[in-house]
Structure 1
Amino acid sequence: MVDKQMNDKVAIVTGAASGIGAAITKQLIDQGASVVGADLNEDALTTLKEQYGKAFHGLKIDVTKEGDHVKLVEETVSTFGKLDFAFNVAGANKTGTILEQSEEDWRFTVDLVLNGVFLGMKHQARQMKEQGEGAIVNVSSLNARVPMYSGAAYASGKAGVEMLTKNGALELARYGIRVNAILPGLVRTPITDSFTSNEKAHKMFMERIPMKREAEPDEIAGPALFLVSKEAGYVNGASLIVDGAWAVSGYPDLSLL
């Protein structure tokens, strides 16, 4: 029997069209919630609407644009009447060493993974403050704690997400809003395909991950939903690492690829 503990709850999920965002969307709807999924991929959002029906509403937005977040929250409330939870998942990475990376690629990555979360939190929390409660989960990364060769922009942005989460918990607790972060390790998603489908890279990662496998998106979605659940009602400002114990062993030297 499917657990329906999310009955009557309403959530925003950014990056809902694939990977971790799609897995969070599915688990929320399976547990009875209504979801507004935000993404740039309109075709994928249409497919999700066909799959989930009235429990899902898709909206094309660019998370780096503040006006798009205003529209996202407004449309969530007009469609479903309120906003209980928000999951800020959208992210991508343009790699490059510090010596070689262009300013354009640096700004693209940090704008997406850090500024996009800030703008989302800002407007999600304004709505939750009006309602007197809410919970936000930001998807950071193990790279918030562990550097990655050619990934300075991504790691720095994700480290910023972790601290932004803690600052959000400090500022928003007085309004009944909890803010927590998930720090995934290697997950089988489109963004990590260059690692999971590359035999040499995959072998290097498996040598470092004690559980000897990458996570599936569902294995990140489950802990993310826990953080908004009533069972996590006293969890606030936390960073939950979900990485198969990878953090205890360190990152492979990707310069060898």
Structure 2
Amino acid sequence: MHDFSGKVAVVTGGASGIGLAIVERLLKAGAKVAVADLNEAKLRELEEKSNGQVIGVVTNVTKQADVAALVQQTVDRFGGLDVAFNVAGASRAGAIIDQSEDDWDFTVDLCLKGVFLSVKHEARYMKDHGGGAIVNVASLNAHVPMHYGSAYSSAKAGVEMLTKNAALELAKYKIRVNAILPGLVSTPLTAGLTSVDAIYDAYMERIPMGRPADPDEMAGPALFLISEDASYVNGASLLVDGAWAVSGYPDLSKFM
């Protein structure tokens, strides 16, 4: 367990899944955390349980004013911003020839534009206050396409390249930017797929470790990337996929 006592973190998409697991790890390690999400009820619950270590900020990461306000409220409440985790994401699936423009825009705006705006405003503060570390959550699908996932896969590939570009531009300000690329993780967003036995079995055929990850198994690598143990890791993409990338991707088209 790393010690992040005295550190201030922002976590977008922090009310559930991977984001929540990161929040819980940060709190155990002594950090103060600004949790950004659209789930206001969950944010208030996290605040109530945190003994003053959490501020919940209702945030739409696709809106620049919301993201700027998130950073400002974090600084106002906790006195600074040292590290950030940009996790917020979701997908509206569809075949390329059928997908609506609205569904494409929803997915790409949330998964890619939301990360861009978050990095932009987090780094603006860090640049003038001694640096920091940022971790973006991309996906195995940044490398591996999937049926009905062109918007999501394209956005996550963009997150990986945005991460590399941010590392290139921000290193001179002592800001490190890295990405984790999760494989299949048991979260509310994947439950609609993994709850179907045939689809679950198709996934398991492709994952050498034979199971989905727990969200906490993403939080550990994410926190490593902001730690001093990763002080020379910058612009990296860390696959956390149970060896999935070396095996292939299931053909989900037969289930659609």
Q: 1:138 aligned to 117, 131, 136, which one?
A: 136
Q: 2:253 aligned to 246, 252, 255, which one?
A: 255
Matched, 1:221 2:219: yes
Q: 1:39 aligned to 26, 37, 40, which one?
A: 37
Task: Give 1:5-84 correspondences, 5 Å limit.
Answer: 5-84=3-82
Name the stretch that deviates more: 211-220 or 43-52. Answer: 43-52
3-state secondary structure, aligned to 1:205: helix
3-state secondary structure, aligned to 2:128: helix
Matched, 1:240 2:252: no
Task: Give the aligned residue type for 2:12.
Answer: T
Matched with 1:155 is: 153
Matched, 1:90 2:61: no
Matched with 1:171 is: 169
CA distance in 2 between counterparts of 1:256 and 1:47 reads 40
3-state secondary structure, aligned to 1:131: coil
Matched with 1:126 is: 124
**Given the superposition, is the C-alpha separation of residues 97 and 189 from structure 1 closer, same or farther in structure 2, using an over 3 Å criterion?**
same
Task: Give the aligned residue type for 1:82.
Answer: G
What's the C-alpha RMSD, in Å, of the aligned pairs? 0.6
CA distance in 2 between counterparts of 1:194 and 1:64 reads 24
CA distance in 2 between counterparts of 1:198 and 1:50 reads 35
Shift of 1:53: 2.3
CA distance in 2 between counterparts of 1:241 and 1:211 reads 14
Task: Give the aligned residue type for 2:166.
Answer: G
Q: Which sections of structure 2, spanning at least 5 residues, go unmatched?
A: none
3-state secondary structure, aligned to 1:190: coil
After superposing on structure 2, the runs of 4+ consecutive aligned residues of structure 1 that deviate more than 6 Å are none
3-state secondary structure, aligned to 1:53: coil
Shift of 1:195: 1.9
CA distance in 1 between counterparts of 2:196 and 2:88 reads 24
CA distance in 1 between counterparts of 2:48 and 2:233 reads 35
Q: Which sections of structure 1, spanning at least 5 residues, go unmatched?
A: none
CA distance in 2 between counterparts of 1:243 and 1:195 reads 17
- For residues 176-198 of structure 1, what are the alpha-carbon distances to aligned partners after superposition, in whole Å with 9 as ceiling and x for unaligned? 00000000000000110122211
- For residues 52-97 of structure 1, what are the alpha-carbon distances to aligned partners after superposition, in whole Å with 9 as ceiling and x for unaligned? 1200110001000000011000000000001000000000000000
3-state secondary structure, aligned to 2:209: coil
Matched, 1:116 2:134: no
3-state secondary structure, aligned to 2:93: coil
Determine if contact 2:187/2:215 at 8 Å carries over to the other structure.
Answer: yes
3-state secondary structure, aligned to 2:69: helix
- For residues 170-220 of structure 1, what are the alpha-carbon distances to aligned partners after superposition, in whole Å with 9 as ceiling and x for unaligned? 000000000000000000001101222110100000011000000000000
Name the stretch that deviates more: 47-56 or 32-41. Answer: 47-56
CA distance in 1 between counterparts of 2:51 and 2:95 reads 44
Determine if contact 2:32/2:53 at 8 Å carries over to the other structure.
Answer: yes
CA distance in 1 between counterparts of 2:221 and 2:62 reads 26
CA distance in 2 between counterparts of 1:7 and 1:132 reads 17
Determine if contact 2:2/2:227 at 8 Å carries over to the other structure.
Answer: no
Matched with 1:104 is: 102
Shift of 1:51: 1.7
Task: Give the aligned residue type for 1:130.
Answer: D
TM-score, structure 2 as length reference? 0.99
Matched with 2:202 is: 204
3-state secondary structure, aligned to 2:10: strand
TM-score, structure 1 as length reference? 0.98
Determine if contact 1:4/1:30 at 8 Å carries over to the other structure.
Answer: no
Task: Give the aligned residue type for 1:230.
Answer: E
